[in-house]
Amino acid sequence: MLKWLSRVLSTRLVREPELAELAEWEASNTLGARWGLDQITEEYLLQSSQILVAEDASSLLGYAVVRSFPDGVELFNILVPKHARRRGVGTALMQAIHERVEGQAVWLEVRAGNESAQRFYEGLGYEQIGVRSRYYRDGEDAVLMSREPAMD
Ligand SMILES: CC(C)(COP(=O)(O)OP(=O)(O)OC[C@H]1O[C@@H](n2cnc3c(N)ncnc32)[C@H](O)[C@@H]1OP(=O)(O)O)[C@@H](O)C(=O)NCCC(=O)NCCS
Protein backbone atom coordinates (compact mmCIF):
# COMPACT_ATOMS: atom_id res chain seq x y z
CA MET A 1 0.00 0.00 0.00
CA LEU A 2 1.21 3.53 -0.73
CA LYS A 3 2.63 5.63 2.05
CA TRP A 4 1.04 9.04 2.60
CA LEU A 5 3.10 11.90 1.28
CA SER A 6 4.66 13.82 4.14
CA ARG A 7 3.06 17.06 2.88
CA VAL A 8 -0.46 15.73 3.49
CA LEU A 9 0.28 13.99 6.80
CA SER A 10 0.79 16.44 9.67
CA THR A 11 0.93 16.33 13.45
CA ARG A 12 -0.29 18.73 16.12
CA LEU A 13 -1.62 18.84 19.69
CA VAL A 14 -5.12 17.38 20.07
CA ARG A 15 -8.16 19.60 20.69
CA GLU A 16 -10.63 18.74 23.46
CA PRO A 17 -13.64 17.97 21.17
CA GLU A 18 -11.50 15.33 19.42
CA LEU A 19 -10.90 13.22 22.54
CA ALA A 20 -14.10 11.17 22.03
CA GLU A 21 -12.87 10.00 18.62
CA LEU A 22 -9.63 8.75 20.17
CA ALA A 23 -11.66 6.82 22.76
CA GLU A 24 -13.71 5.23 19.95
CA TRP A 25 -10.50 3.94 18.36
CA GLU A 26 -9.45 2.52 21.72
CA ALA A 27 -12.79 0.73 22.15
CA SER A 28 -12.28 -1.25 18.94
CA ASN A 29 -8.58 -1.93 19.53
CA THR A 30 -7.26 -5.20 20.88
CA LEU A 31 -3.57 -4.28 21.30
CA GLY A 32 -2.00 -1.47 23.27
CA ALA A 33 -3.24 0.48 26.26
CA ARG A 34 -7.02 0.25 25.64
CA TRP A 35 -7.75 3.60 27.29
CA GLY A 36 -11.26 4.91 27.95
CA LEU A 37 -12.40 8.50 27.47
CA ASP A 38 -11.90 9.21 31.20
CA GLN A 39 -8.24 8.28 31.06
CA ILE A 40 -7.62 10.19 27.83
CA THR A 41 -9.32 13.28 29.29
CA GLU A 42 -7.32 12.98 32.51
CA GLU A 43 -4.13 12.92 30.50
CA TYR A 44 -5.31 15.84 28.35
CA LEU A 45 -5.84 17.96 31.48
CA LEU A 46 -2.45 17.13 32.97
CA GLN A 47 0.11 19.88 32.49
CA SER A 48 3.00 17.45 32.20
CA SER A 49 1.32 15.48 29.38
CA GLN A 50 1.00 16.14 25.69
CA ILE A 51 -1.39 14.38 23.32
CA LEU A 52 -0.37 14.57 19.68
CA VAL A 53 -2.56 13.63 16.73
CA ALA A 54 -1.64 12.87 13.14
CA GLU A 55 -4.05 13.91 10.41
CA ASP A 56 -4.40 14.22 6.68
CA ALA A 57 -6.62 16.73 4.90
CA SER A 58 -9.82 14.94 5.89
CA SER A 59 -9.41 13.00 9.14
CA LEU A 60 -7.44 12.14 12.25
CA LEU A 61 -5.23 9.08 11.72
CA GLY A 62 -3.62 8.32 15.07
CA TYR A 63 -2.55 9.71 18.43
CA ALA A 64 0.25 9.48 20.96
CA VAL A 65 0.54 10.52 24.60
CA VAL A 66 3.77 11.51 26.33
CA ARG A 67 4.36 12.64 29.88
CA SER A 68 7.41 14.63 31.01
CA PHE A 69 9.48 13.70 34.05
CA PRO A 70 12.61 15.37 35.46
CA ASP A 71 14.85 12.73 33.84
CA GLY A 72 13.08 12.35 30.49
CA VAL A 73 9.83 11.54 28.80
CA GLU A 74 7.60 8.47 28.94
CA LEU A 75 5.50 7.41 25.98
CA PHE A 76 2.24 6.46 27.69
CA ASN A 77 0.24 5.48 24.66
CA ILE A 78 0.21 5.41 20.88
CA LEU A 79 -2.57 4.16 18.63
CA VAL A 80 -3.15 4.20 14.92
CA PRO A 81 -6.56 2.77 13.99
CA LYS A 82 -6.37 -0.39 11.92
CA HIS A 83 -7.39 1.14 8.61
CA ALA A 84 -4.49 3.63 8.78
CA ARG A 85 -1.65 1.29 9.83
CA ARG A 86 1.58 0.57 7.92
CA ARG A 87 1.48 3.91 6.12
CA GLY A 88 3.93 5.85 8.24
CA VAL A 89 1.42 7.45 10.63
CA GLY A 90 2.96 5.95 13.77
CA THR A 91 6.41 6.95 12.57
CA ALA A 92 5.24 10.53 11.94
CA LEU A 93 3.84 10.71 15.49
CA MET A 94 7.06 9.38 17.02
CA GLN A 95 9.19 11.75 14.95
CA ALA A 96 7.05 14.65 16.15
CA ILE A 97 7.58 13.50 19.74
CA HIS A 98 11.34 13.19 19.25
CA GLU A 99 11.44 16.74 17.86
CA ARG A 100 9.42 18.12 20.77
CA VAL A 101 11.53 16.41 23.45
CA GLU A 102 14.87 16.81 21.71
CA GLY A 103 17.82 16.13 24.00
CA GLN A 104 15.81 13.97 26.42
CA ALA A 105 15.59 10.22 26.83
CA VAL A 106 12.26 8.60 25.93
CA TRP A 107 11.13 5.33 27.50
CA LEU A 108 8.05 3.14 27.28
CA GLU A 109 6.48 -0.15 28.35
CA VAL A 110 5.00 -2.56 25.86
CA ARG A 111 3.24 -5.89 26.35
CA ALA A 112 5.63 -8.79 25.79
CA GLY A 113 3.15 -10.27 23.32
CA ASN A 114 2.86 -7.06 21.29
CA GLU A 115 5.68 -7.94 18.91
CA SER A 116 4.49 -5.66 16.13
CA ALA A 117 4.82 -2.62 18.41
CA GLN A 118 8.27 -3.81 19.54
CA ARG A 119 9.41 -4.05 15.87
CA PHE A 120 7.97 -0.57 15.33
CA TYR A 121 9.91 0.92 18.27
CA GLU A 122 13.14 -0.87 17.32
CA GLY A 123 12.92 0.72 13.87
CA LEU A 124 12.82 4.10 15.60
CA GLY A 125 15.99 3.48 17.60
CA TYR A 126 14.49 2.06 20.82
CA GLU A 127 16.29 -0.71 22.64
CA GLN A 128 15.01 -3.21 25.16
CA ILE A 129 16.34 -2.28 28.62
CA GLY A 130 14.45 -4.72 30.82
CA VAL A 131 11.36 -6.77 31.53
CA ARG A 132 8.79 -6.26 34.30
CA SER A 133 7.46 -9.64 35.20
CA ARG A 134 3.64 -9.95 35.33
CA TYR A 135 3.33 -6.18 35.09
CA TYR A 136 -0.14 -6.06 33.55
CA ARG A 137 -3.34 -6.92 35.41
CA ASP A 138 -3.85 -10.00 33.24
CA GLY A 139 -0.38 -11.30 34.21
CA GLU A 140 1.46 -10.44 30.99
CA ASP A 141 5.06 -9.17 31.24
CA ALA A 142 6.01 -5.63 30.20
CA VAL A 143 9.07 -5.06 28.04
CA LEU A 144 10.84 -1.77 28.86
CA MET A 145 12.38 0.09 25.95
CA SER A 146 14.23 3.40 25.71
CA ARG A 147 15.79 5.73 23.21
CA GLU A 148 18.72 7.89 24.24
CA PRO A 149 18.92 11.55 23.19
CA ALA A 150 22.09 10.87 21.21
CA MET A 151 19.80 9.26 18.58
CA ASP A 152 18.53 12.75 17.54
C1 LIG B 1 2.31 0.21 16.73
C2 LIG B 1 1.57 1.16 15.80
C3 LIG B 1 1.36 2.50 16.52
C4 LIG B 1 2.38 1.40 14.52
O5 LIG B 1 1.73 2.39 13.73
P6 LIG B 1 1.83 2.40 12.14
O7 LIG B 1 1.30 3.69 11.65
O8 LIG B 1 1.23 1.17 11.58
O9 LIG B 1 3.43 2.34 11.94
P10 LIG B 1 4.29 2.72 10.65
O11 LIG B 1 3.46 2.58 9.41
O12 LIG B 1 4.92 4.05 10.88
O13 LIG B 1 5.39 1.56 10.69
C14 LIG B 1 6.79 1.82 10.68
C15 LIG B 1 7.53 0.51 10.73
O16 LIG B 1 7.29 -0.16 11.98
C17 LIG B 1 7.30 -1.59 11.77
N18 LIG B 1 5.96 -2.13 11.98
C19 LIG B 1 4.80 -1.47 12.13
N20 LIG B 1 3.77 -2.33 12.31
C21 LIG B 1 4.31 -3.57 12.27
C22 LIG B 1 3.76 -4.88 12.36
N23 LIG B 1 2.44 -5.09 12.55
N24 LIG B 1 4.61 -5.94 12.28
C25 LIG B 1 5.93 -5.76 12.07
N26 LIG B 1 6.52 -4.52 11.96
C27 LIG B 1 5.71 -3.46 12.06
C28 LIG B 1 7.67 -1.78 10.29
O29 LIG B 1 9.08 -1.83 10.21
C30 LIG B 1 7.14 -0.48 9.67
O31 LIG B 1 7.76 -0.16 8.45
P32 LIG B 1 7.20 -0.81 7.07
O33 LIG B 1 5.70 -0.61 7.06
O34 LIG B 1 7.91 0.02 6.02
O35 LIG B 1 7.59 -2.24 7.10
C36 LIG B 1 0.20 0.55 15.36
O37 LIG B 1 0.42 -0.75 14.85
C38 LIG B 1 -0.85 0.46 16.47
O39 LIG B 1 -1.57 1.43 16.73
N40 LIG B 1 -0.95 -0.71 17.14
C41 LIG B 1 -1.98 -0.93 18.16
C42 LIG B 1 -1.71 -0.14 19.43
C43 LIG B 1 -0.38 -0.50 20.03
O44 LIG B 1 0.03 -1.65 20.05
N45 LIG B 1 0.31 0.53 20.56
C46 LIG B 1 1.58 0.34 21.23
C47 LIG B 1 1.35 0.24 22.69
S48 LIG B 1 2.90 0.10 23.59
What would the 3-class secondary structure string for the chain be? CCCCCCCCCEEEECCHHHHHHHHHHHHCCCCCCCCCHHHHHHHHHCCCEEEEEEECCCCEEEEEEEEEECCEEEEEEEECCHHHCCCCHHHHHHHHHHHHCCCCCEEEEEECCCHHHHHHHHHCCCEEEEEECCCCCCCCCEEEEEECHHHC
Confidence at residue 23, expressed as pLDDT on a 0 to 100 scale: 96
> What topology is assigned to 10-151 in CATH?
Aminopeptidase (3.40.630)
Is the Cβ–Cβ distance between 149 and 105 less than 8 Å? yes
Confidence at residue 30, expressed as pLDDT on a 0 to 100 scale: 78
Confidence at residue 120, expressed as pLDDT on a 0 to 100 scale: 98
- Which residue's CA is the nearest one to ligand 1's atom 23? 116
Q: What is the pLDDT of residues 64-118, one digit of tens each?
A: 999 999 999 999 999 999 999 999 999 999 999 999 998 899 999 999 999 999 9
Q: How are strands ordered across the β-sheet holding 60-69?
A: 10-13, 49-55, 60-69, 72-79, 106-111, 142-147, 127-132
* Ligand 1 center from residue 118 Cα (angstroms): 8
| Domain ranges within the chain, ordered by starting residue | 10-151
Question: Relative to the CA of 114, which ligand 1 atom is closest?
Answer: 44
> What is the spatial distance between Cα 141 and Cα 104, in angstroms, rounded to a whole number?
26
Using a pLDDT cut of 70, give the percent of the chain over it: 93
To the nearest whole number, what is the mean pLDDT of the chain?
A: 92
- Which residue's CA is the nearest one to ligand 1's atom 16? 120
